[in-house]
Structure formats: C-alpha cells, structure tokens
A and B are shown apart, each in its own frame.
Chain A
Amino acid sequence: MVSRPNRADKVGVVISALIPWDVPVGWNPDPEDVDKLEAVLLLGGVPLLLFVGITLAVYVPSLVRGERIAPGAPAVENQWLGGPRTAAGELPGPQDTGAEASDPQSGGASGRW
C-alpha cells in the first residue's frame, strides 16, 4: 500500500529543491553535541562581559576625574567667593516684598553660553 504524501511533505520537497540542505564544504557533517554549560557561558557570558566593559568604559573616566555619576544630584555645590550674608537656601521667595526681595534700582546684565 503506497501512502500519498501529505501537504507538509510536499512543502518540504519544494523547499529542499529551492534551498540546498547539504552540509557546507568544510563543515563537520556529524558535529558533537554542544555542552549546555558552554552554551550558556557563550550566549550569556559574552553579552554580560560586554555590558560590564562598556559600563566601566563610560563611568571609570568620570570617577577618576572626580565627577558625579549619581543622577539627580546637583552638579555644582553652591559656593560664594567674596562673602554672602545669607545662604542661597535662606533667600526670600519671589512673592516677598521685604527689603531683601530685590532692589528696583539695581542694574546689570545677563548671559548664557
């Protein structure tokens, strides 16, 4: 009794005709099984090492220069040269109308760089 090829077999034959399934020249036609531990180390360890390496390459120069790396912290500490009377945190708010709010006769200029 000869069984008729089903649909999957037909598709397999067509694909085999279009794409050669032969083992490429020079490849071992009967390779050894890959060790699971080795596969995990290769597929997981290498990306992990790359991640660590890139992270170190980014942060180590900043750490050596003494720059901040923590997000959210102020880049520069407030400091005075020449001497203030009060600290910046003790300044009156914009709505304050006391003597220290601002001098309407003051002048000056602004800039950005």
Chain B
Amino acid sequence: MAAGDPFRSADRVVLDETIRKAEQLARVEFSVFVGNAEGEPRPFAERLHASLVAPARSILVMVDPTRRLLEVVTGAHVRRTLSDTEVELAVAAMQSDFAAGDLVGGLRRGIQMLADHARAPQTLHAGPGLTS
C-alpha cells in the first residue's frame, strides 16, 4: 500500500468486484470516489455525481477519510426504486464500519445495501402467464 493510498491491490479487486455485482443486481451505475472533498462536501459530491456519464442512472459514494465525510448521491432514475431513507440506512451502516477503521468493509456493505434497495421490485402483474 503506497503512502496516500488507503487501498491495497487486493482491496481494490474486492471493491471492483462488489461494484460490478451491485451494478448487475440493481441495473444502475455505481461510482465510488475516495479522496479529498473540496469545500462543502454535499455540493462537491453533487458536482462529482453530475460529472458521471449517466448521472440519472448513477449512484455516487464519496468518502473523504481525512475529514471523515461520507456522501451518497443518487440520480433521478435511481430514486424511483431507492429512497433517501434507504440511502440513510446504507450510510449508517457505512459510518459504523468506517468508525471502526474498516474502510473497505464499510464500502462493501454500503454498496451491497444500496444495490439491494435499488433493485427494481419484481411484480407478478407483468408476468406473461397472467395476460389473456
């Protein structure tokens, strides 16, 4: 682990795998920014989110380990299935892991929770067998 890099190579592989599975599950884009938030964290995170390829279909997780800040920004399309209350639950889970010094574990748990909640609910009414 190089100076200034909070992740080992193995951590990065694990997080990439977690993000990939979350994207497959929830059908939305996950982006994680770990670094130094400039100025007010929320506007900074929103600008990061807006810079993504498809902001409406993206979830941004911003972590500033130095200032101990955590921001999650969800796009308009994502909010159809992922409410802000559910995001708060994931944020609370990540906070507890981060406070215990487990940055990678917190990110994994938070991303998995966000993906679980963002997954579109399966409805029985759209099944082909119900149409006459």
The judgment on whether A and B are partners is yes
Whether a CB of chain B sits under 8 angstroms from the CB of A55 is no
Q: How far is the CA of A33 from the CA of B34 in the complex (A)?
A: 65
Q: A102 touching B49 by the CB < 8 A rule?
A: yes
Q: B51 touching A85 by the CB < 8 A rule?
A: yes
Whether a CB of chain A sits under 8 angstroms from the CB of B112 is no
Q: B55 touching A110 by the CB < 8 A rule?
A: no
Q: How far is the CA of A110 from the CA of B65 in the complex (A)?
A: 14
Shortest CB distance B97–A (Å): 9
Q: How far is the CA of A63 from the CA of B75 in the complex (A)?
A: 41
Q: A76 touching B34 by the CB < 8 A rule?
A: yes
Contact of A111 among B5, B50, B60, B92 (CB under 8 A): B92
Asked if A84 meets B35 with Cβ closer than 8 Å, knowing A68-B4, A109-B72, A109-B84, the reply is no
Contact of A68 among B3, B33, B52 (CB under 8 A): B3
Q: Which residue of B lies closest to A99 (CB)?
A: B50
Interface residues on B, range: 35 or more
Shortest CB distance A94–B (Å): 6
Q: How far is the CA of A37 from the CA of B16 in the complex (A)?
A: 64
Asked if A81 meets B15 with Cβ closer than 8 Å, knowing A76-B6, A91-B47, A91-B48, the reply is yes
Shortest CB distance B120–A (Å): 17
Q: Which residues of chain B are within 8 angstroms of A68 by Cβ–Cβ distance?
A: 3-4
Given contacts A102-B47, A103-B49, A107-B74, 12 further A-B contacts (CB under 8 A): A82-B32, A85-B51, A92-B50, A106-B73, A107-B83, A108-B84, A108-B87, A110-B42, A110-B91, A111-B71, A111-B94, A113-B99
B: residues with CB less than 8 A from A are: 1-7, 12, 15-16, 19, 29-36, 38-39, 41-53, 55-56, 60, 64-66, 68-76, 78-79, 83-84, 87-88, 90-92, 94-96, 98-99, 107
